[in-house]
Structures are given as C-alpha cells and as structure tokens.
Amino acid sequence: MASVFASIVQAPEDPILGVTVAYNKDSSPIKLNLGVGAYRTEEGKPLVLNVVRKAEQLLVNDLSRVKEYLPILGLAEFNKLSAKLILGDDSPAIQENRVATAQCLSGTGSLRVGAEFLAKHYHERTIYIPLPTWGNHPKVFTMAGLSVKTYRYYDPTTRGLDFQGLLEDLGAAPAGAIVLLHACAHNPTGVDPTVEQWEQIRQLMRSKGLLPFFDSAYQGFASGSLDTDAQPVRMFVADGGECFIAQSYAKNMGLYGERVGALSIVCKAADVASRVESQLKLVIRPMYSNPPIHGASIAATILKNSDMYNEWKVELKAMADRIISMRKQLFDALTAKGTPGDWSHIIKQIGMFTFTGLNSDQVAFMTKEYHIYMTSDGRISMAGLSSSTVPHLADAIHAAVTRSC
Amino acid sequence: MEHLKPDEATRTEADGESMFFNVPLAPDIPIYATTAAYKKDPNPNKLHLGVGVYRTEEGNSHMPNVVRQVEKTLANDPYADKEYLPITGIPEFNRLSAEIIFGSDSPAIKESRVTTVQCVAGSGALSLGAKFLAKYNHQHVVYLPEPTYGNHFNLLSGSGLALKTYRYYDPKTRGLDFQGLLEDLDSASVGSVVVFHACGHNPTGVDPTCQQWEQIRQLVRLRRLFPFFDCAYQGLVSGSLDADGQSIRMFVRDGGECIVAQSYSKIMGLYGERVGSLSIVCKTADTARRVESQLKLIIRPLYSNPPIHGAAIVTGILKDRNLYKEWTAELKAMSDRLVKVRHQLYNALCERGTPGDWNHIIRQVGMYSFTGLNEEQVGFLTKEYHIYMSSDGRINLGGLSSNAVPYLADAIHAAVTRIN
C-alpha cells in the first residue's frame, strides 16, 4: 500500500536559514557566514552575555524553583517588565492598565499570535509590509489568515528610504488597514526613518486610522541606547492611540534559541485591554498551551535587578559599538581599494544588517569564489564580521563588482 | 539623535473608540478556573486533584534529580551557547526521542522511515501534526475518543481539522466500550485520522488490553484510517517505557504509517519548559525526508525554531547511561506511587462501605481516575470538603498523597451517600 504522503514534494530550504545549512556544508577553511542575524565576537564566536550566565546560575541554583506550567500568557513579571522596556517606565498606557502583554516564542511567535488575533477579531484583514522586509514576515501573516500588501520603503538608487513612496502607499491604504513597522534597524536594509519622518508617518497613520504593528527585534542594538531605539514606538503610544508590538530578546539579550519574546497590545481603554487579554489566551492555547519558562525567567531576572540591568546595557552597547566599528572598517577598506560605487550606505545604515546593493549574481560569485555566505538579496550581517575577516569580504566585494564591469 | 518628548506629540487621532471595542470577554477555561479557585481557598485541608501535574508524597512540585543535575551541567558548560536551533530542533534530541517511543531496535528507525521534530511539548506536537494533516491528508476528519483530554478539541480543530468522536468510555462498567469503539471506527471514512492515547488515557485511566489493541490495529489498517498517537505518559503507567510503548510499536511493526505526539512534561517533570516531539512514521525513507521538509514550512512561520533549554536537558539525560538509568528508576517510583495510592483509595472506600463498586479505581491506569462521580457530587466535594477536581469526575492521582487519602475517601463517601 502506498504512503499516504506519496505525493508530497521536497520543500525548498528556508532562504535565510538555508544559508547556514550551505555554510556548514562548505569545507573551505576561509569561509564566512554573513547570513543569519546572530551576533559574533571579534573571534567569530557566538556570545552568551555575562549577565545572562549570571542570571542562569541564579535560577539553576535556586532549589525552590520548579518547572510547573506557566500561565497561558506566560510569566507575569516578564510581561510587565517587557512592556516597561519598550514603552518606558513612566508610560501612561501602562499606568492606565491599557496594555495587554503575552509572553510568546520570540519575535516570530509574537508576530504570529498578534496576526492570529487580528485575523479573528479585527475588521480589516490586510496588512501592509515594507518592501523589502524580513523574509519570514509574509508567511507569518498569510498563514495566520491575513492578506499581505506592500508599501514602498527602500530606494535602490539612494540606498535609503523612499519616503515619498511610503507616504503615498500608506496614504492609499484603506482605513483601518494594519501596517507593519520595523521599530528600528530595519531588516534587511538597515534604513530607518528619521525622527521627523516617523512623526509624519504617525500623523498620516492616525489620520487614516491605520493600525500600527511594530516589529521590535533590535531595541538597544541599533544606536546602543534602549530608550532611543524605542522612540518610534513611544511616539505612537504617546498620542493615546492603539498599536501592536512584537518584541524579541533574541539579539539584544543574546537569547536566540531560548525563544524569548512578548506581544503587547496597547488599547484605548483598560476595559478593552482586559478583554483583549482574555482573548489572547484563546489564540495561544490551541497553538501550544503555554510558553517556555527558562528564557523568560532569565530576561525577567535581568530586567528586575538594577545592577544586572545596568550590566546588560553595557554589554548591549558593546555589541552595538562593535557592529558600528565593523561598518566603518568595511567602508574604509572598500574606499582604500577604490572599489567602484558609493559605499557610504554601509555607514549610514543602522543595526545588524547592511543592504550592500549587490545583486544575486554577484552574491553567487562571492559564495562560489570566496566562500562568503549571505542571502541572495545582498544582505550581510555585520555581526558576523570581525576585523580579521573584513579584508576578505572587501576583496570579495571588489572582485564581484569589478568583474561585472 | 534628538527625540520628541511625549507631551510634544500631537494627538492627531480623533477621540474615537478602540478598534477592539467589541472584542468580547473570553469565558474562563474550566481547568484554569479550578486552579484559581483552589489557590484562593484558605481551608487547610484543601486538595487540588484537578490539573495533571505530578506531586510528591509531601504535595510538592516534583523535579527529578537528574533534571537538576543536567541543568547545572548545562549552566556550567562554558561551551554551551544559545544559538538558534535548526527549525526541527536538536538533532540528537530527535533521534533519542524516537528511540524512546519506537524502541532503539525499531525497523522504522533503522530504515530511516521516521522523521522526528522537536516541538513545544505535546500541545505543540499535536497542533503541528494536525496542521500537517490538514494540509496533506486527503481526509480532514479526525476522530477523538469520547471523552478525551480537554484541550484536544482546540489543538486539533484550531489547526483546520473537522472533529468527530468514537465511543470509548462506558460509564456502566467504568471501563472500555470496546464494541462501541470498533463499530464507530469501522464506519469511519477511509483516510480519517484517529487519535489514540498511547497509554494512561486522559481523563478516564481506561486503556485497551494488548489483545484489544491488536484488534484495533487490524481494523485501522483494514479501513485505512490514519493513527495519531498522543503519548504523554510513557513509563508512568506501567513503570516501563517499553511496555507503555507497545501500542504504538504494534502499529509500527506492521509496516504502516502513523503520527506520534510525545510529551516530556509529566515523564520528566519538565512541564513549563515545553519539551516534546512529533514523529511521523512513513512508508519509505524518501517520503520521511520530504515530509520533514514540509514540516519545516509549517514551523518557520509559527515560531521559527523551538526552545533549547528543555530539550537540552532531555538530551543530556537520555544520552548518558547512568542518568538514563536514574531517570527510569525515578519514573518507576512515580508509577509505583500512583498504583499504591490507587489501592489505598480503593481500600479506604471499601472500609467505609461506600455504596457502589469502586474496583475501577484499581483497574484504571496512569495518572487519572474517572471516579464516576457526577457534576453535582463533584460540586459537593468542592463546597463541603474543599476538594478541587474536574467536573467530569476525573481526579489526578498524581496530586494525591497517602495521608490525604482518608480525607478524600470520607468526602467521596459523603457525596455518594447524600447525593444520588
């Protein structure tokens, strides 16, 4: 008897995660993985923050700790501290009990739960995502039952923001449509609106009743300051309006594989927030019942202890600073080589990624000849670079660009 | 970088209503409401026999020693990192989990016909399996035993499958309605998915015998139904992982296909760490490979990849011969305690001459007993004796210590004699 699954086809590898799969298969000693956005030290090693190790030791050595199920919405303390982190300690929305927060499986899980909630309870089923955006965004939303449209975002000619295009496209969106906004350090381009541009975006969105859905995966990583990187979100909350926020601790606390994140829904009124919170439970329970305890406990331990919190801020700033330094080094190296083109976008773009402007042929060339792994859209993770590997990358880019001439 | 202060931001939005003003307040989930009520109750004799969490004799939460040991080792390992796992989780975890379920000598494993992926505990595995079947199985109907674990309905229908039930529990015998089961499965459409509790049926504690499983297997294969096993109590029922895995292994031995959702919540006390797996046993290795690639497409937009910690603990235990032995010994001790407390309760009711036949308490197996108490009697138990349990009469023996047995027996006696 044939398999029930006889007609299933082999699915293609995930474009982003597939880069690491290919990298791992490469036996060359000089290979470089600039695919996944995971921070690496100068020595090219993954980093577990000291303060995370400390927190983990405290947890593991506390004999009174047990592993019982968390509530459906997760660790309450973690949720409160997460909301404060993104909205600010003094946020009126928090003080007025207008925020419903659920611990979720990192940023992806928070986005998915938020999308499932919207598909179930919101009258508009379309979400506008920036062009380009993180590779996994479209599927997260379509699998939840939303339909996806795009708004202009990246301008390849300036390698910066297509602000006019953005305003036009959002201006043409139907009232009430959901709009995905990268809170800071846009992935994959590294291009962020200025404060003034954010204010214009906010005014436009509020006037059209568009619902903001923030993806906040790099708070603290972009500028080195948690408060600065949260400004766009806080602007939208300060005007008294509503928004969704998907928060990830993968990068800024280095908790990647522990899957730590939170979904916050800022509502107009406390009564709405408590009803929304009750409905979030009904979205989460049929997915996986309740979230994992370990990572959220680490995060909560750090956030609630002022010494550890300060230690974390220092380590976070060090990571952000190293990335900014890599940007400068790469820019200087390409300038020194006289590589054709304007490479200033490398130092203008913000956060973990640089949208190099290289096309997929050039990327393929760099992988084949120089064993450099990156996504085919030309995105490189600066976090995967070190002072010793910058020259190799600069050589590769130079070769890729000049060979096309 | 300058930024606007909050009071400088213009309130461009009209003082309109919330976009979610008509979102209704969700009803309380019964099992959570029971726990909340228990917590609020100040009575010193209160008992929580509701949610399925194993407690020690002293009534404390139970973390197996091996779990603490491995956790310390992991935290002290300078080479351990927190990098993203692959979408399908820790490979070693998956391999070892498959061996636990199917046996290390399983031909399906040897022939690479099994794909196993790490999931967010049993719940995550059930909903992932359901989503996969909703996408790729020709039949989108799933049969659940009547009754079944409370969250099965949500996990399976939330993933896109239509639900039906098959007769399972016979209230008259407080045992298996085997005839009813066979009749209902016999009339199911070809390709329908059927959920089986591998062992320690929740909520009834009623499991088919070996012979009955064999008849079920034959019928399932004859009618070309698709078996979906929920395996959350392997080792806790008989004290032996192999014995408790027999029902599943029967179905694999015949060369056919099946799906297994596995949970380490109870059997390793890992509840809140959310550790489980989904295994799909296929006809060929090539099919298993393709199936795995499709599972990844479902997982990635859900949560990208699963959490490290719990699965790392499981892996640490399973791969170390001594820790594995220690764990299986603890598992046997837990299982023995459940059996002991069943006998104690049965004896206590007999001693009191409590009306009715209470034999089912020792016939039923695993963590739960379907006492046979009705909703009114359950309400009485809660109100007069501060005993919290499911309104369907299920008690969690894992939450019952020996010294609380007399109190529970008194309560049941009172309920049964005063309310019919």
| H-helix or E-strand spanning residue A230 | helix A226-238
Active-site residue list of A: 134, 215, 251
**B294 close to A (CB below 8 A):** yes
Q: How confident is the model at residue B30 (pLDDT cuts 50, 70, 90)?
A: confident
Distance (Å, whole) CA B230 – CA B150: 13
Average pLDDT, chain B: 94
pLDDT exceeds cutoff 60 at B10? no
More confident residue, A397 or B158: A397
Q: What is the dihedral of CA A374, A379, A384, A385, to 10 degrees?
A: 100
- Same domain? B166 vs B312: yes
**B7 close to A (CB below 8 A):** yes
Report chain B residues whose CB lies below 8 A from the CB of A6: 283, 287
Q: Where in the sequence is the domain holding B408, given as residue range(s)? A: 30-63+334-418
- Residue B245's pLDDT is what? 98
- Same domain? B46 vs B123: no
Q: Determine whether the interchain pair B300/A5 forms a contact, defined as Cβ–Cβ distance below 8 Å.
A: no
- On whether residue B294 sits in a domain, the answer given is yes
- On whether residue B292 sits in a domain, the answer given is yes
- Of all residues in chain A, the one with the smallest CA distance to B132 is A5
Distance (Å, whole) CA B397 – CA B342: 7
For the stretch B96-134, pLDDT in tens is: 999 999 999 999 999 999 999 999 999 999 999 999 999
pLDDT exceeds cutoff 90 at B93? yes
Strand partners, B141: B162
Please, where are the H alpha helices in A243-358?
270-288, 293-304, 306-337, 345-348
Among candidate residues A190, A189, A213, A193, the one with its CA nearest the CA of residue A201: A193
Report chain B residues whose CB lies below 8 A from the CB of A109: 302-304
pLDDT exceeds cutoff 70 at B194? yes
**A320 close to B (CB below 8 A):** no
**B58 close to A (CB below 8 A):** no
Distance (Å, whole) CA B167 – CA A363: 60
pLDDT exceeds cutoff 50 at B8? no
Residues B380, B384, B387: CA angle, nearest 5 degrees: 80
- Residue B2's pLDDT is what? 42
**A14 close to B (CB below 8 A):** yes
Distance (Å, whole) CA B157 – CA B180: 24
**A251 close to B (CB below 8 A):** no
Where is average pLDDT lowest: B75-79, B112-116, B194-198? B75-79
Report chain A residues whose CB lies below 8 A from the CB of B297: 11
- On whether residue B25 sits in a domain, the answer given is no
pLDDT exceeds cutoff 90 at B95? yes
- Same domain? B94 vs B223: yes
- Same domain? B291 vs B345: no
- Residue A18's pLDDT is what? 83
Specify the pTM.
Answer: 0.95
> Beta A211-216 vs A178-182: how paired, if at all?
parallel
Distance (Å, whole) CA B115 – CA B282: 8
Task: Scan residues 127-156 of B and list those with Cβ closer than 8 Å to A.
Answer: 127, 136-138, 151, 154-155
Q: Contact, B347 vs B181, CB < 8 A?
A: no
Which structure tokens are listed for A165?
């295009």
- Same domain? B234 vs B157: yes
- Same domain? B239 vs B175: yes
Task: Scan residues 345-374 of B and list those with Cβ closer than 8 Å to A.
Answer: none
Q: What's the CATH number where B398 sits? A: 3.90.1150.10
How far is B416 from chain A, CA to nearest CA, in Å? 33
Distance (Å, whole) CA A65 – CA A69: 12
Where is average pLDDT lowest: A12-21, A361-370, B202-211, B234-243? A12-21
Distance (Å, whole) CA B278 – CA B290: 15
- Ramachandran region, residue A176 (left: φ > 0; alpha: ψ -120 to 50; beta: rest): left
- Residue A74's pLDDT is what? 98
pLDDT exceeds cutoff 80 at A36? no
> Is B362 exposed, middle or buried, given 0-12, 13-18 or 19+ CB atoms closer than 10 A?
middle
- Residue A404's pLDDT is what? 58
- On whether residue B271 sits in a domain, the answer given is yes
Domain A69-304 classification at class level: alpha beta
Mean pLDDT of A278-294: 97
Q: Is the dihedral of CA B328, B330, B331, B337 positive or negative?
A: positive
Q: Determine whether the interchain pair A52/B82 forms a contact, defined as Cβ–Cβ distance below 8 Å.
A: yes
Q: Which of B319, B347, B382 is the last residue of a domain?
A: B319
Closest partner residue to B19 (CB to CB) among A9, A38, A242 is: A242
Classified as helix, coil or strand, B101 is helix
Name residues whose C-beta falls within 8 Å of residue A32's C-beta, 6 or more positions apart in sequence.
A370, A371, A372, A373, A384, A385, A389, A392, A393
- On whether residue B94 sits in a domain, the answer given is yes
Which of B137, B275, B304, B314 is the best mutation test for A, with the most CBs of A within 10 A? B304
Residues A70, A259, B96: CA angle, nearest 5 degrees: 90
- What would the CATH number be for the domain defined by A16-47+319-400? 3.90.1150.10
pLDDT exceeds cutoff 70 at B4? no
Total residues found in chain B within this entry: 420
Q: Determine whether the interchain pair B85/A257 forms a contact, defined as Cβ–Cβ distance below 8 Å.
A: yes
Closest partner residue to B296 (CB to CB) among A11, A69, A109 is: A11
Closest partner residue to B83 (CB to CB) among A108, A238, A256 is: A256
CB contacts < 8 Å between A and B, how many?
261
Q: Determine whether the interchain pair B13/A206 forms a contact, defined as Cβ–Cβ distance below 8 Å.
A: yes
Total structural domains within chain B: 2
pLDDT exceeds cutoff 60 at B1? no
Identify residue B284 by its one-letter amino acid code.
Answer: T
Where is average pLDDT lowest: A159-168, A231-240, B13-22, B67-76? B13-22
How far is B2 from chain A, CA to nearest CA, in Å? 8
Among candidate residues B43, B345, B301, the one with its CA nearest the CA of residue A17: B301
- Residue B12's pLDDT is what? 45
Among candidate residues B125, B110, B168, the one with its CA nearest the CA of residue B259: B125
Distance (Å, whole) CA B385 – CA B415: 10
Task: Scan residues 194-253 of B and list those with Cβ closer than 8 Å to A.
Answer: 224, 226
Mean pLDDT of A293-305: 98
- Same domain? B114 vs B240: yes
For the stretch A114-153, pLDDT in tens is: 999 999 999 999 999 999 999 999 999 999 999 999 999 9
pLDDT exceeds cutoff 50 at A371? yes
Task: Scan residues 334-373 of A and list those with Cβ closer than 8 Å to B.
Answer: none
Q: Which of B319, B350, B367 is the last residue of a domain?
A: B319
Residue B316's φ and ψ, nearest 5 degrees, are -60, -40
**A24 close to B (CB below 8 A):** no
Q: What's the CATH number where B158 sits? A: 3.40.640.10
pLDDT exceeds cutoff 50 at A308? yes
- Same domain? B254 vs B345: no
Closest partner residue to B303 (CB to CB) among A109, A234, A281 is: A109
Mean pLDDT of B331-344: 96
- Of all residues in chain B, the one with the smallest CA distance to A202 is B12
- Same domain? B265 vs B368: no
Q: How confident is the model at residue B6 (pLDDT cuts 50, 70, 90)?
A: very low
Mean pLDDT of A11-28: 88
Distance (Å, whole) CA B146 – CA B144: 6
- On whether residue B268 sits in a domain, the answer given is yes
Mean pLDDT of B327-344: 96
pLDDT exceeds cutoff 90 at B321? yes
- On whether residue B20 sits in a domain, the answer given is no
Mean pLDDT of A58-72: 94
ipTM of the complex: 0.95
CB B275: neighbour CB atoms within 10 A?
Answer: 33
Which structure tokens are listed for A254?
């280095």
- Domain ranges for chain A: 16-47+319-400, 69-304
- Residue A403's pLDDT is what? 87
Average pLDDT, chain A: 95
- Same domain? B147 vs B211: yes
- Same domain? B311 vs B344: no
Q: Contact, A20 vs A40, CB < 8 A?
A: no
> Is B290 exposed, middle or buried, given 0-12, 13-18 or 19+ CB atoms closer than 10 A?
buried
- On whether residue B119 sits in a domain, the answer given is yes
- Same domain? B101 vs B177: yes
**A120 close to B (CB below 8 A):** no
Which of A59, A67, A282 is the best mutation test for B, with the most CBs of B within 10 A? A67
Q: Contact, A119 vs A144, CB < 8 A?
A: yes
Distance (Å, whole) CA A297 – CA B370: 36
Equal fold, A16-47+319-400 vs A69-304: no
